[in-house]
Amino acid sequence: MGGGTISGTSPMSLQPDCIRCGRDARGGRRVEGRLDYYPRWVWLGLVGGLLPVIVLCFIGRKKLRISFSLCPDCARRQRWKQGMAAATWVLVAASILVSVKLDDAWILIGTALLFVGAIVASVLGSDPLQVSAYQDRVFTVKGFGREFPALPGP
Ligand SMILES: [Zn+2]
């Protein structure tokens, strides 16, 4: 991955260069999205179980509205990965249905493997940008390609 970070307040509108490869992305895809940031202290809720964590996430969540560009090539690659992830989840669902009908250990193992594969595919296909820090209304966003021109120099 590498690449640097960009800081700013919400809403953040990035220049029309591809966030992956840095090429001029006019004619590509403009993504209007939302990135969520959860402060680390939400994990303190774990002492009370999963529910407090969910409640704390809800309280502590900071939303960044962001728009960025992907060039046609990177947009296509991103869509392909998302399609793969969706297809793998369909396979998982089908495999669960089959394993309920046929009580077979191998199908169960296959389902478990597919499940792991689907999670991996979802992570790979997820939005490239993430909020890495938040303080006083300023979000720090990471996940840019090394070539993205708006990045502060080394
Ligand atoms: Zn690109």
The predicted structure's pLDDT at residue 154: 52
H/E segment holding residue 76: helix 72-101
pLDDT at 125: 81
* 77 pLDDT above the threshold of 80: yes
Q: Dihedral, CA atoms, 26, 21, 65, 61, nearest 10 degrees?
A: 170
List the domain boundaries for the chain.
Answer: 6-142
Predicted TM-score (pTM) of the model is 0.75
- Give distance in angstroms: CA of 147 to centre of ligand 1: 9
Cα-to-centroid distance, 125 and ligand 1 (Å): 15
Confidence bin at 1 (pLDDT 50/70/90): very low
- pLDDT tens digits for range 32-73: 999 999 998 999 998 998 899 999 999 999 999 999 999 999
Cα-to-centroid distance, 78 and ligand 1 (Å): 10
Q: Distance from the CA of 114 to the center of ligand 1, in angstroms?
A: 30
pLDDT in tens, 79-92: 999 999 999 999 99
